[in-house]
Structure 1
Amino acid sequence: MRGRRLLIVLILIIAAAVIVFFRTYDGKPGPLPSEDEITAALNEYDSEADAAVLLDRVRLAEEHVFVPFISSQGIHGMGFLKWEKRKWSVTRVDMSGRPEVRVTDQSDPSGRYVVWNNNPLEKVKEFRFYLIRDRNAGMSDRVNYYVPRVQMEELVNVTEHPYGAMPFPEEWAGIMREDDKLNKAPAVDFMDNIFSQFYFRPSMLYVGYLPVYAEDAPPRSGSSKSGDEDTEFMMIMNETDLEKPQ
């Protein structure tokens, strides 16, 4: 009798494990839905999307897809699909079309893309994307430290590419990895690594962009954005935020 009870308990444990596995295992992504199916899913997710024309379906990663679209009112928006729970789902719709960072891998900066879908009526000629770290200096535990400035630039011709998905340059990803290591360096390593003096500081890296408009561009109007766990917003910059090469 005792052996039978143990067998029943074991079967229940295995059954529970199988159920948990199938509920959490997403499996290999299946084929993308058709354009009509994606359009319907975008409009179901956000009734204000009013998506009418899909411009593209850009696969950022195996489980992430970027969908720039135009609404029936001519608004240029962005939709995002993600493979989860063994199906493709809309996880976010953005109706501003302004640049932002889409994260496909939280553990690696290389899994980041700058995405945008600019309305040609805004007459943006160029996006200048920047990875910035502000210069900083001070003293901690009687030790002086200096953090040099980082300013790295990537240019995109918006006239030629009104929408797009720019993968993070490897130079950007490399700096972000090193910055993350410095932030995580434990205090006990201080004497062994002169750079570990930065262990106590928060990261000061950020990504921003500067839109360059045509002379006859219409007045700019703002619009709100709301994100999700895979979104990182970008700061809109001015010329005064940038340093000129020496």
Structure 2
Amino acid sequence: MTKKSIFLLFIVMAIVAGAITVYIMMTPKAFYSEDEIIENMDYLTQEMEVLEVIQLDEKTYLVPLLLNGGESYGSSIWVWSGWKWECVGATTASDPQIIVNEGNSYIYWNVHPQDEVHEWEFYLTSERNYSVTTVGDDNQVEVYYPKIQMKNSVEFGKESYGYVEMPSEWKDVIGAFDSFPAETGFIPSSHSYMYQWQAYNDDGESIRLEHTFRNGGGGSYGGNYFFHMSQLDPENLE
């Protein structure tokens, strides 16, 4: 075998080895058992029980938690990091929040049953705005942003926890008004939006999550996977 043939064979083997490595990194391993979840939980130190293991998509899991013998209802989010499953966020009180992973977006929660939530209303809102941006040497882009107020109603369900996919209409609206989209393809870089929620009981009255947060509420988040949702002030609606 000539030196040229040996060199070409080496190149081919390197390409194959690289492809195998990429394939291994891109293909998630089986997710953890309940015991392994607790063993790999670095963020929370409380006594905890796994309520359920929920696969959101191929590379994202939601694990709702019961903490301190039922005093608190928390949650953890796990993503495939390329080599292992990694907990990227965990909380001791889980009002609705947003997880985004590789273009997939979800709203998830785990709240105390004594708050008696019957229905959620999720909102995408944005205030009116006008911007002028210089592009290049002398070109200006003028953009007017109208007020946006989009609502998505979701029935609570039987369990203390749950999730829904982010409404596709929200992403469409954000993309339509954004002149310079961020790399995530979801959150724009040139305009500010708010993600908010409101909870209602069986009588249709808005409520606060008093039992969910009666022991406070804390947690840790890693990476750029999360977007905060806040409780809506009805006075801001039009």
Give the TM-score normalised by structure 1.
0.70
Change in Cα spacing, 1:156 to 1:49, as seen in structure 2 (3 Å) is: farther
For 1:233, the equivalent position in structure 2 comes to 228
Distance in 1 of aligned mates of 2:83 and 2:165: 26
Change in Cα spacing, 1:37 to 1:122, as seen in structure 2 (3 Å) is: same
What's the secondary structure of 1:46's corresponding residue?
coil
Q: Larger RCO: Structure 1 or Structure 2 (Cα < 8 Å, ≥ 6 residues apart)? A: 2
Kept after mapping to 1: 8 A contact 2:91/2:217: no
For 1:104, the equivalent position in structure 2 comes to 101
Shift of 1:143: 9.3
User: Which residue type is aligned with residue 57 of structure 2?
Assistant: A
Kept after mapping to 1: 8 A contact 2:66/2:74: yes
Higher helix share: 1
For 2:114, the equivalent position in structure 1 comes to 121
Q: Percent identity?
A: 23
What's the secondary structure of 1:99's corresponding residue?
strand
Correspondence list, 1:84-233, <5 A: 84-105=81-102, 108=103, 111-137=104-130, 146-158=144-156, 160-180=158-178, 182-183=179-180, 202-212=190-200, 213=206, 221=214, 222-229=216-223, 230-233=225-228
- RMSD over aligned Cα, in angstroms? 3.7
Give the TM-score normalised by structure 2.
0.72
In the comparison of the two structures, how many residue pairs are matched? 217
What's the secondary structure of 2:25's corresponding residue?
coil
User: Which residue type is aligned with residue 101 of structure 1?
Assistant: I
Distance in 1 of aligned mates of 2:18 and 2:233: 53
Higher strand share: 2
Q: Which deviates more from structure 2 when the two are superposed, residues 139-148 or residues 69-78?
A: 139-148
What's the secondary structure of 2:180's corresponding residue?
helix
Shift of 1:220: 5.8
For 1:71, the equivalent position in structure 2 comes to 67
Larger radius of gyration: 1
Correspondence list, 1:26-65, <5 A: 26-42=25-41, 45-52=42-49, 54-65=50-61
Unaligned stretches of 5+ in structure 2? 135-139, 182-188, 201-205
What's the secondary structure of 1:154's corresponding residue?
strand
Unaligned stretches of 5+ in structure 1? 185-200
